[in-house]
Structure 1
């Protein structure tokens, strides 16, 4: 089983017997077998015949439509999970402000700890850049402040403080002269590194959302991110602890190992975006990274990332139900 990415600027997705068929602008075809597909992500520029939706629905395949600038903007929804009792407990949790705050602090503490781990790794690989050690110490001080926050706004504020320091170091870890991060920019991304980060975060959110829903969780009932109509706040919560170990390390790998070049980006509408070729490279490496095994300290064993996403979703479900007391975020070394 695997994920399928169709990121072409042109093409058609149709039904062919009991499977799907993608036809590119030159008439070349690629069959997509439902029983081998975990998730489908396709560009909004791809045309889709109506019977495709029936195949996706019949097989319960999570499907996301990515906009032309790499943002997740449409999800095919097959209805809420059937476990109404679990969702009831999720909303009871939201009424417990103390528990919501503690979970939010756990998530952001995990995120900052992962950032510090990567910053210290960068420092070891760049001993001449002594300022990185100073930044790591500043981030450790911020981490301590998270534990004493009394409001979610306070937690988010410390998260922002740590992020500014973290991205100043991440920028130093991108080796090609033509690649630039600068300050973190979102919509639109202003530099090529920001473009890759935003695209990876979108794909990661799709994967995390799918994992949460597989355990019957309502992805709109989050803790850290404020609730809003149609906003998958819980998915955004869960993504935080995986941004650095999964997406940021992959971004550096793509640039530093020459997998991307300057021609894989285009300037458009005031931003910098991946071309179809560049997006294909990033998606392919994203899929490979899902199979990379890494130690889960909470479990004391190694698992591939695709299973870690599921394990963290199961863990959160059990915290909601009260069978586990404290939410423990994923940490990498």
Structure 2
């Protein structure tokens, strides 16, 4: 199954038999067979016909509408996507189990972040990176002993600060400077790619969660509400560094993106422009199709969502996170 990304502006999606056509004017840019689609992500100003929407609803294909910078405005979902049964099981998880699962998720994020820095340290040693690696090891231990969600969130934040303090040391591409993480808005090209990548990955996880019948608004670590799918925010944590951060390092250090040509500045922030989004999404898809542990990375996401679903059904089998080997 694949995701259709529509990042060009002014496109028009129409239906021809069992295929979705992506057109600009009278020119057909691409076409994808409906049976191969899992979701459609539309960035910015493009139109979708009623026929395409109806066909997607009949096949449980989600359509997400995002800004050009990756912020999700909303999604079109089939009425069959209900969470009533599993949601009840999720809500029955005891506070102790929720805390234990939150510990597991935070520890996995910290461990994976540490592995990424250890790999970079072997390639390009620095004192800052060495300190961050040591700090993350300590925070992993502390997270395993946390007695509240608030304490865990504090440790997760400390881990992110330590990790990103060394992230800039791992970058060697011309024109790319990174001192700290900034999100709303992203302050430079590296932050722009991180924010965009996290949003794309988050949307993928949200779709997989919905396909499995889990309630995306009921998590263990993050607090859910009408505008925040907490479970997607929980499960993305173990994948941030292994998928998005490592991809940003690859794009920058290989010179595949240009700090001058692939970004735009407006509204007080820095964002990928059309060429930058195209390059990032192409590299993202290629990376997700690569084999890890004898399966595409796409399967790792599905594997973790299914593992969480199994945990909800049988809490005696604790959730097992994805860890980089």
Which residue does the alignment assign to 1:58? Answer: 58
SS of residue matched to 1:148 = coil
Query: How far 1:314 sits from its partner (Å)?
Result: 1.0
**After TM superposition, what 4+ stretches of structure 1 lie above 4 angstroms from structure 2?**
none
Which residue does the alignment assign to 1:313? Answer: 305
| Residue deviations 1:219-250 (CA, integer Å, cap 9, x gap) | 11111111212321101100000001111101
Which residue does the alignment assign to 2:40? Answer: 40
Aligned residues of 1:21 and 1:32 also touching (Cα < 8 A)? yes
Deviates more, 1:63-72 or 1:28-37: 28-37
Change (3 A) 1:303 1:16: closer
Which residue does the alignment assign to 1:278? Answer: 276
TM-score, scaled to structure 1: 0.92
Query: How far 1:144 sits from its partner (Å)?
Result: 1.0
Query: How far 1:13 sits from its partner (Å)?
Result: 1.6
SS of residue matched to 1:258 = coil
Matches within 5 A, 1:81-120: 81-82=81-82, 84-93=84-93, 96-120=94-118
Matches within 5 A, 1:288-307: 288-295=286-293, 302-307=294-299
TM-score, scaled to structure 2: 0.95
Residue 256 of structure 2 corresponds to residue 259 of structure 1: yes
| Residue deviations 1:100-123 (CA, integer Å, cap 9, x gap) | 111101000000000111111111
Residue 212 of structure 2 corresponds to residue 220 of structure 1: no
| Residue deviations 1:252-300 (CA, integer Å, cap 9, x gap) | 11111121112010111111111111101111111111122223xxxxx
Which residue does the alignment assign to 1:5? Answer: 5
Aligned residues of 1:80 and 1:218 also touching (Cα < 8 A)? no
For 1:114 and 1:257, how far apart are their aligned partners in 2?
22
SS of residue matched to 2:92 = helix
Query: How far 1:131 sits from its partner (Å)?
Result: 3.1
Deviates more, 1:22-31 or 1:136-145: 22-31
Query: How far 1:79 sits from its partner (Å)?
Result: 3.2
| Residue deviations 1:177-227 (CA, integer Å, cap 9, x gap) | 311222111121111011111111111011111222222111111111112
Residue 151 of structure 2 corresponds to residue 154 of structure 1: yes
Q: How many residues align?
A: 324
Query: How far 1:28 sits from its partner (Å)?
Result: 3.9
Q: CA RMSD for the aligned pairs?
A: 1.7
Aligned residues of 1:189 and 1:273 also touching (Cα < 8 A)? yes
Aligned residues of 1:14 and 1:20 also touching (Cα < 8 A)? yes
Change (3 A) 1:25 1:196: farther
Which residue does the alignment assign to 1:180? Answer: 177
